[in-house]
Chain A
């Protein structure tokens, strides 16, 4: 059963919004440029805006149906919303903000402590929101929504107001929620890399229209993402993995890939907390991957994977090549290099990238 069905139309000030999609995966990212209607999408689901016509369902419950004149108001939808600016209530401390929507403390005490622990909010329970940083406020907003008995959580650009470090912290916390709590999420962002850190299932949104959800790799393969001009140029590859071995003294660690446990990548790390078994996310830019027709031994590049080219195509002034090495690697290279290597689907090739080129996130 689809978690969310949204077939809706809305026109506001010459902006025409139209969505026809069904979301099945637990976490879906909505990606598109600013002003493409991403927030409208969330507002329609939360009941903060009313479509002109259509039909909206969440977990099988009809929330809007223009034919039957059904419109469930926001407070009866059980759809939690984490806003861009957090919107933590300024006159309540963190604890009261978190408990704001909890019906009975006794029933959900254990969930309360679980959320407080997951989001590391215990030291701040007595703090007033104006004493918290942007990232901490965002965590309170997230916790508050999680404790509101919601069946679906909407996150609207949860990291735009945050600087780089705080953003990564919030991403970590959201990932913890995803893996520990069983609640479907829809996350909106105009930053593809942020979104990919949380999910690979994406709905593209452009000029008020949605596309059916597809995986990031499919979207690259079908060149759909590339049409959103200027938004992607880095072709990030994001992988889940677990630390298999770690040697901080040498500044190296080995990561076992979640999709393919036989496959291990070297990462650069002198972080002593990266012990065996710790789950991490890896980000690798497509442009940081070199292709070679054979393995090169006398070279400083530690990660050398053999794979088969799945697709190769030109986009504007560069080439994109997707290689299956047990994990899929999207690479970007110049037209000249691609010509020289005579890349074609089915051909074997080696992907080379330095351990330093891999960014890691907890």
Chain B
């Protein structure tokens, strides 16, 4: 039944449902794209460096992964909210307000998904044989170029899955967003927040179900795309 009605789903979407979907995609895409270079850098650093206190640094980076998202959101509020110790300063000097707007939603999604992407990237870089990297250097190729010609392509399956995991995590982000960015329609109300909202209003069961199905579809498409990309990479080898 549901499958049969799928096309109708999209036709019947209300403007607030559309806005939740588009906002979700926007937040997820921007935060994944912005996180990626940092995740790559930190992931590489964690994979290839040894120093004292590395477990502590790793723990701090991975903290949002294990902390309840609501507490992460609360910490963000304390730090970056208009009364927070950095937020206050940003507002007073630059007039920048971070909490309770789209930037906050993106930032919350970034913070929560970042460890997931970083972890996947660093694990896949760890798997790349460092001996291939030193072989590249003896061929006259600098460590920087070696990273992009040897390490990155060999780690690509893990990198792709890290990005997809991160993207999905952004889509599903709820706790940190509602605490730090609020639940403002068109501004911070992503799919999970909209679902939460509709669930509390009688007669919105249809809208709730539509959003649930659509978010499942988006995640499914992302995973299939990742699998496809992975296959392409492997075929080219």
Contacts and interface: CB of A to CB of B under 8 A. Distances in A.
A148 B140 contact: yes
B138 A81 contact: yes
B177 to A, nearest CB: 39
A149 B140 contact: yes
A281 interface: no
A180 B154 CA distance: 35
Given A89-B132, A91-B154, A79 B237 contact: no
Interface in A142-197: 144-145, 148-150
A90 B237 contact: yes
A22 B140 CA distance: 24
Interface-centre pick from B136, B138, B153 (highest chain A CB count, 10 A): B138
B237 A48 contact: no
Interface-centre pick from B139, B142, B236 (highest chain A CB count, 10 A): B139
Contacts, number: 61
Interface in B140-172: 140-143, 146, 149-150, 153-154
B135 A83 contact: yes
B154 to A, nearest CB: 6
Contacts of B154: 90-91
A83 B131 contact: yes
A73 B236 CA distance: 32
B140 A81 contact: no
A128 interface: yes
Interface in B105-148: 129, 131-132, 134-143, 146
A125 to B, nearest CB: 16
Nearest to A145: B139
Contacts of B146: 75
B237 A91 contact: yes
A100 interface: yes
A74 interface: yes
A91 B153 contact: yes
A87 interface: yes
B222 to A, nearest CB: 24
Contacts of B149: 100
A71 B123 CA distance: 32
Contacts of A144: 139
A87 B137 contact: no
Contacts of B139: 75, 80, 100-101, 144-145, 148
A328 interface: no
Interface-centre pick from A74, A81, A128, A150 (highest chain B CB count, 10 A): A74
B237 A80 contact: no
B132 A74 contact: no
Contacts of B129: 87
A323 B156 CA distance: 63
Nearest to B233: A91
A81 B133 CA distance: 12
B150 to A, nearest CB: 6
A271 B129 CA distance: 43
A78 interface: yes
B142 A81 contact: no
A144 to B, nearest CB: 7
A46 interface: yes
Given A89-B150, A90-B154, A128-B237, A75 B141 contact: yes
B140 to A, nearest CB: 5
Nearest to B142: A75
A75 B153 contact: no
Nearest to B154: A91
A76 B138 CA distance: 8
Contacts of B150: 89
Contacts of A78: 140
A81 B237 contact: no
Nearest to B234: A91
Given A87-B132, A89-B150, A91-B154, A101 B137 contact: no
Contacts of A90: 132, 154, 237
A46 B131 CA distance: 13
A80 B139 CA distance: 6
Nearest to B149: A100
A87 B131 contact: yes
A74 B237 contact: no
Interface string A65-76: 000000001111
A193 B139 CA distance: 29
Contacts of B237: 90-91, 128
Nearest to A128: B237
B137 A73 contact: yes
A47 B149 CA distance: 20
Contacts of B153: 91
A173 to B, nearest CB: 19
Interface string B55-82: 0000000000000000000000000000
A165 B94 CA distance: 74
Interface of B: 129, 131-132, 134-143, 146, 149-150, 153-154, 236-237
Given A75-B143, A100-B141, 4 more contacts: A74-B137, A85-B131, A91-B236, A101-B140
6 contacts: A47-B138, A75-B138, A75-B140, A81-B138, A144-B139, A148-B140
Q: Which 8 A-B pairs have the closest CB atoms?
A: A101-B139, A81-B138, A87-B135, A74-B137, A148-B139, A75-B137, A75-B142, A91-B153
